[in-house]
Structure 1
Amino acid sequence: MLINKKKRIKYLGFDDFWFIIIGILILSFITDYLFSNSFVRHPFGKAIISWSVSLFFSTCDWFIIRSIMIFLRKRLPSFKDNSKRIFLFFIAIVSTVFLVDFFGNIILSFILGLNYNPLSRAKILLPIILISTMTMAIYEAIYFYIRLKKSIREEEQAKQMIVQTQLDTLRNQAQPHFFFNTLNTLRDIIDQNSKEDAKEFVDKLSDVYRFILESGNANLISLRDELKFAKSYIHIQSERFGNNLKVNWDIPKVSLNAMIVPMSLQLLLENAIKHNVISRSKPLVILVATKNNFLIVTNEIQPKSTQIPSTKLGLKNIEKRYTLISSKPIEIKNDGNQFIVSLPLLELSDQKNKYAGINH
Structure 2
Amino acid sequence: MAPQSKYSDLILNVLVALAITLVVNFSYVLLLIVEQRGDSQPRPAKASVVARAEEGTLRVSPDGHGYIVYENGDSVYVMMQRLRRLGLEDGDRLVVDLVAPRRYGAHPVMNELRMRNGEEFDYSTLFNRPSKATELTLQLFYYLVVSFIMLSILTSVRHRYTPGRFVRHCMWCVLAATALYMVAPVSEWRTGRIMLNFMGDHIFDYMLLLKCSFAVAVSMLYGWVYVLNSKQQAVVMENERLKNENLTTRYNMLVGQINPHFFFNSLNSLAMLVREKHDEKALVYIDQLSYTFRYIIQNGQSTLMTLDEELKFIEAYSYLFKIRYADKLFFDIDVDDKYRTWTLPALSLQPLVGNAVKHNTITRSKPFHISIRTENGWLVVANPKVPKLEPEPSTGIGLENLRNRWHLITGRDIEIVDSDREFVVRMPLQNPAV
Matched, 1:204 2:253: no
Q: CA deviation at 1:250?
A: 1.8
Q: CA deviation at 1:296?
A: 1.2
- Taking a change above 3 Å as real, the CA distance of residues 300 and 192 of structure 1, as seen in their structure-2 partners, is farther
- Taking a change above 3 Å as real, the CA distance of residues 164 and 249 of structure 1, as seen in their structure-2 partners, is same
Higher RCO (Cα < 8 Å, 6 or more apart): 1
Look up the match of 1:30. 26
Is residue 303–residue 345 contact of structure 2 (8 Å, CA) maintained in 1? yes
**How far apart in 2 are the matches of 1:199 and 1:115?**
95
- Taking a change above 3 Å as real, the CA distance of residues 145 and 43 of structure 1, as seen in their structure-2 partners, is farther
Alignment of 1:227-246 (within 5 A): 227-246=311-330
Alignment of 1:256-295 (within 5 A): 256-295=340-379
**How far apart in 1 are the matches of 2:155 and 2:333?**
68
Q: CA deviation at 1:254?
A: 2.3
Alignment of 1:1-360 (within 5 A): 13-14=9-10, 18=14, 22=18, 26=22, 29-30=25-26, 32=28, 43=124, 45-46=128-129, 62=147, 75-76=162-163, 143=227, 146-348=230-432
Q: CA deviation at 1:331?
A: 1.0
- Taking a change above 3 Å as real, the CA distance of residues 72 and 233 of structure 1, as seen in their structure-2 partners, is closer
**How far apart in 1 are the matches of 2:144 and 2:315?**
77
Is residue 274–residue 282 contact of structure 2 (8 Å, CA) maintained in 1? yes
Q: Which has the higher strand share?
A: 2
Q: CA deviation at 1:19?
A: 5.5
Question: Which stretch shifts more, 172-181 or 317-326?
Answer: 172-181
Question: Which stretch shifts more, 259-268 or 60-69?
Answer: 60-69
**How far apart in 2 are the matches of 1:43 and 1:29?**
22
Larger Rg: 1 or 2? 2
**How far apart in 2 are the matches of 1:113 and 1:200?**
98
Is residue 14–residue 148 contact of structure 2 (8 Å, CA) maintained in 1? no
Which consecutive residues of structure 2, in runs of 5 or more, have no partner in the other structure?
40-122, 182-196
**How far apart in 1 are the matches of 2:342 and 2:314?**
16
Q: Which has the higher helix share?
A: 1
**Structure 1 counterpart of 2:245, which letter?**
M
**How far apart in 2 are the matches of 1:20 and 1:43?**
35
Is residue 414–residue 426 contact of structure 2 (8 Å, CA) maintained in 1? yes
Q: CA deviation at 1:283?
A: 2.5
**Structure 2 counterpart of 1:165, which letter?**
T
**Structure 2 counterpart of 1:323, which letter?**
H
**Structure 2 counterpart of 1:30, which letter?**
F
- Taking a change above 3 Å as real, the CA distance of residues 141 and 286 of structure 1, as seen in their structure-2 partners, is same
**How far apart in 2 are the matches of 1:56 and 1:294?**
65
**Structure 2 counterpart of 1:318, which letter?**
L
**How far apart in 1 are the matches of 2:375 and 2:202?**
95
Tell me the alpha carbon deviations over residues 187-209 of structure 1, each in whole angstroms, 9 at most, x when there is no partner: 23333452333222212212222
**Structure 2 counterpart of 1:341, which letter?**
V
Classify the secondary structure of the residue corresponding to 2:382: strand
- Taking a change above 3 Å as real, the CA distance of residues 246 and 114 of structure 1, as seen in their structure-2 partners, is closer
**How far apart in 1 are the matches of 2:370 and 2:32?**
94
